[in-house]
Amino acid sequence: MAIRAARRTGDFGLADAVRVARDRRTGPLLLTLDLTRPLRAAAVGPAALRTRGRPTLREVVDALDLATDDPRVVGLLARVGMAPGGLATVQELSAAVRRFVDTGRPAVAHAETFGEDGNATAAYLLAAAFGEIVLQPTGELALLGVSGEVTFLRGALDRLGIDPQFGHRHEYKNATDRLTGHQFSDAHREALDGVVGDWSAQIVTAIAAARDLDVLDVRRAIDGAPLLADEALAHGLVDRTAYLGEALDDLRGRAAANATLAPLSEHHGPAAARRRWRERGAPKVALIEATGPITIRAGGLLPRVGITSDELCADLRRVAEDADVAAVVLRIDSPGGSAVASDAIRHEILRVRQGGTPVIAWMGDVAGSGGYYIAMPADRIVAQPGTLTGSIGVSAGKAVRRGLEERLGLRTEAVTRGAHARYYSSATAFSDSERRRLDSQLDHVYADFTAKVAHDRDMAPARVEQIARGRIWTGAQALSHGLVDRLGGYREVLDVTRAALDLPADAPLRIRRHPPRRTLLARLRGGGPDDPAQRDLGGAVAMAIAVAESTAVPLLIDELTRAPGMLTMPWVPRLG
């Protein structure tokens, strides 16, 4: 305050500036962190473009760990309210916060409100990791629990004259159920209920432990939510009510009155630079990020949204040829997509391993179907308890727009050579012969997928069949079924990497993102059409966009333009 006053009056000179810079370098620090917006790694699809410039999960976890190891840091204040990612992201952030709290220094989570007009269960779970939770007096706590809600579109498609013709292997492979069905099938409901139940148990148990409450009391609070601030206080879910400025003044008074207030990111840069200096000469680990739907290739000037096998396979080949790379960590946050692209990536991972470089798969919020396909060849797989994975199955087909064309007075005709020349055409339904070919294709891809699971995970085929059939599992369930090797996050990934390299548990590692982010010039040199297999449903919906004027159309467009690939996860529960 005195410094700002001096600046206003003109009494702030060079000596004062030097003193401020010295205090930032050597004096006590009170760090702040904004966890109210999605992290960059948590964004999949178009949302990835909106989160550019924000930190990744690894950057935030790394910054928290560096702050934990720095004795100059006397306290931490985080703004919370909406979750910065899915359950696995929140679990990883929570573990990093707990490591700071365990040092005995104050860590405060402040929320203006938890979930205004939305479910804030995941956001509150993150706040519970802090030593203290402060809620604005006018805020609320929408600790609503977990919901698996699916909007089935078949009725709207029927009205539009669009006929979804899809097949799947097997009964739990529900990626296209929202298009082909009017309600949950028994298998769909069973699989979703299993995930919702396990997520709920994980969340309730974690909150009870963090807040020193009985599990039944937490469940009662959830059933009574949303809660007003005073009700949350009475349930023991928050420690006090105050505005952000008041919480900050209180924390400063308890930590160190002369502490310099600084964002966590400002502390991270210099601390990471000092660590890099200490780590020179340590084994190099290439961190490769695989986030989003999986396709074969992408082109154009815009940054790629998702995983392309062209680029990821090239990245893996470059790593395999780099004699300086001792190990690879593959960060996967993907619901899957193209079967061909997934298989190409798996092949390159196996080649990296065959060259003597261990590969560790690090799962994020989702790593299922094609996302699991590219994880399973790794030496070891690490997932959070709340990760969604599995979905070992396949679905394929097309949405036929013939009925819509007839209603619009349109007619599509074709001159062909070949009995199945219009196999992929959305203007005509599958013939009996084409349907048999589709079933044969589905059987082949499923058999190939499960055989490779058995090979990569060293399982008996019969055991794979029991846990496959398209069913999704949480990370905790996947561990019990042998689909992953360890529960945890970035720190556990580093432990597993050291073990794979036969290094001591405290050995330093040089973690380097590979490849560096592409420049505009690199994008200009690239190019290539999108995977045509991903355009079929979009074409049918584009026709609907041009003519439909009903309230169902915006929802239909939003849902159907994300065409599922052969190895795509079904819709999964949300926590807000």
Q: What CATH number did the domain enclosing 22 receive?
A: 3.90.226.10
How many independent structural domains does the chain possess?
A: 2
Average pLDDT over residues 221-231: 97
Average pLDDT over residues 467-487: 97
Max CA separation in the chain (angstroms): 87
- As a whole number of angstroms, the distance between CA 429 and CA 9 comes to 79
558 and 497 inside one domain: yes
Query: Token pair for residue 70?
Result: 């720095």
- Residue 155: pLDDT over 50: yes
Q: What are phi and psi of 438, to 5 degrees?
A: -65, -45
Average pLDDT over residues 145-171: 94
Question: Among 21-25, 44-48, 70-74, 465-469, which is the least confidently predicted range?
Answer: 44-48
Residue 480: predicted pLDDT: 98
Query: Token pair for residue 537?
Result: 């449903």
The verdict on residue 372 lying in a domain is yes
Look at residue 494 and give its three-state secondary structure.
helix
Q: How confident is the model at residue 545 (pLDDT cuts 50, 70, 90)?
A: very low
Residue with tokens 């009017």: 182
117 and 244 inside one domain: yes
CA-nearest of 271, 262, 263 to 62 is 271
- Residue 299: pLDDT over 60: no
How does the average pLDDT of the chain come out, rounded?
86
Q: How confident is the model at residue 560 (pLDDT cuts 50, 70, 90)?
A: very low
375 and 245 inside one domain: no
Compute CA 425 distance to the chain's CA centroid, rounded to the nearest angstrom: 33
Strands 140-141 and 107-111: unpaired
266 and 285 inside one domain: no
Question: Among 10-14, 389-393, 403-407, 513-517, which is the least confidently predicted range?
Answer: 10-14
The verdict on residue 204 lying in a domain is no
Question: Among 55-69, 296-310, 400-414, which is the least confidently predicted range?
Answer: 296-310
255 and 344 inside one domain: no
Q: Which of 240, 270, 300 is the last residue of a domain?
A: 270
Domain extent, residue 316, equals 281-568
Q: Which ranges in 333-422 belong to alpha helices (H)? A: 339-354, 370-373, 402-408
Long-range contact pairs involving 496-504 (C-beta distance under 8 Å, separation at least 24): 496/360, 496/380, 496/382, 497/285, 497/327, 497/329, 497/358, 497/360, 500/327, 500/358, 500/360, 500/379, 500/380, 501/283, 501/326, 501/327, 501/358, 503/283
> Any idea how long the chain is?
576
- As a whole number of angstroms, the distance between CA 560 and CA 571 comes to 13
Look at residue 185 and give its three-state secondary structure.
coil
446 and 550 inside one domain: yes
Q: Which of 236, 270, 304 is the last residue of a domain?
A: 270
Residue type at position 372: Y
Q: For the beta carbon of residue 468, count every other beta carbon within 10 angstroms.
A: 24
